[in-house]
Amino acid sequence: MSSPIAPEAPEAPLAPHAAAVRDFNRFYTRIIGALDEGLVRTPFSLTDARVIYELAQRPATEVPTLRRELALDPGYLSRILSRFAADGLVERSQSPDDGRRQVVTLTGAGLAAYRLLDERTQAGIEALLGRVSGADRARLVEAMHTIRQVLGGAAPPRAYLLRPLRAGDLGWVVHRHGVRYAEEYGWDVTFEALVARIVAEYAEHRDPRREEGWIAEVDGAPVGCVFCVRRDDDVAQLRLLLVEPEARGMGIGSRLVDECLRFARRTGYREIMLWTNDVLTDARRIYEKAGFERRDQAPHRSFGHDLVEQTWWRRL
C-alpha cells in the first residue's frame, strides 16, 4: 500500500525576505561607498569605473554591447562616453561590421586610468578583507558564490590552484581530516589523532628532496591536500588525500594524486603505495583511474568502526 503524500509546505511570505535583502543592500552599499570614497581616491564615479572596466576587457567594444553589459540608460551612457572622449580617455569610431554602430576604445590615458582604478580597488578590497580572519574570508567568498548561483543561474566554472605547504597548513590538514571523517563516516577522535601523528612526523623528519605536500585552493581558501612521503629508498607513500565536499567534481582529487605521482617519479622512486579503507569509495575510484592496483586487504577495527583496510600499489 502506498503511503499518503503529505501536502507541500506553503511558501514562506516574501515580505520578510524582501526586507532582509533591502537591509543587506543598504549595509553593503555603505561598505562599498566607504571603500570608493576613502580608498580609491580618483575623480571617477562608481558608474564611470564600471564603464572603464568593461572597456578594458577587450580591444574595442560596440556601444550597444557596452550598454547591455552594464544595463545603463542609453542617454546616460552617451553622456559618460562624450565626457571620456573630451578628456582623452576613449576614441570612438564606426563599427567595421555595421556602420550604424559606434565602437569605443580606450586610449593610452584610458588604460592608465583603468590600471589606477584596478590597483586602488584591489588595495581597498584587500584592506577590507584584512580585517577578518582567513576562515571568515572563506565563508564570505562562499556566500558570494551562493548569491550568484541563486540569483544568476549556474555559476561559471571555478578555477583551483595547487601550491606547496606553507605556515598554518599542517593544522588545517589535521582539523579538516578530523571534521570530514567524523561527519561523513562517523569516525572517532582516534582518527584525528592518527592524522596528527602523521603530520607531526612529516614536519619533524621531512626530507625536502624526496618528500612534499600540496594544498589545493579555490578562491584563496584551502579545499584539499595530499602528501608524498618516503617509505623506503625505492617506494614512496601517498598519504592524507582530502577534498572538501564543496570542491568535489572539479577534478581536484585526481590532480592532487597526479602531482604526487609526478613528484615521486621525478625524485627517483620506483613504486608508490597507499593505505586506505574500503568505505572510501570516491578515493578508490581516483586511485584506480591513476593506475593503482589493490594488493592486500584485511578486516580491522579502528576509529570506532569495523573496517577493511587496503593497500594499493603502482609502478612509476
Give me the percent of the chain exceeding a pLDDT of 70: 90
Distance CA 147, CA 164 (A): 31
* Residue tagged 563516516 (cell numbers): 185
Local structure of residue 40 (DSSP, 8 states): I
The mean pLDDT of the chain is 86
Residue 33 clears pLDDT 70, i.e. is over it: no
pLDDT tier at 36 (50, 70, 90 boundaries)?
A: low
Give me the percent of the chain exceeding a pLDDT of 90: 52
pLDDT for 37 equals 52
Residue 224 clears pLDDT 60, i.e. is over it: yes
Q: How do residues 239-289 score in pLDDT, each as one tens digit? A: 999 999 888 888 999 999 999 999 999 999 999 999 999 999 999 999 999
More confident residue, 249 or 170: 170
Q: How do residues 93-133 score in pLDDT, each as one tens digit? A: 887 776 677 888 999 998 998 888 888 877 778 888 888 88
More confident residue, 301 or 119: 301
Lowest mean pLDDT among 12-21, 221-230, 286-295: 12-21
Distance CA 52, CA 47 (A): 9
Kindly report the pTM of this predicted structure.
0.55
> Which domains does the chain show, CATH number per domain?
14-131 (1.10.10.10), 161-315 (3.40.630.30)
Q: How do residues 43-97 score in pLDDT, each as one tens digit? A: 787 788 888 888 888 778 888 888 888 888 888 889 999 999 999 999 988 877 7
pLDDT for 100 equals 75
More confident residue, 3 or 210: 210
pLDDT tier at 159 (50, 70, 90 boundaries)?
A: confident
Residue 291 neighbours by CB under 8 Å, 6+ apart: 314
Residue 175 clears pLDDT 80, i.e. is over it: yes
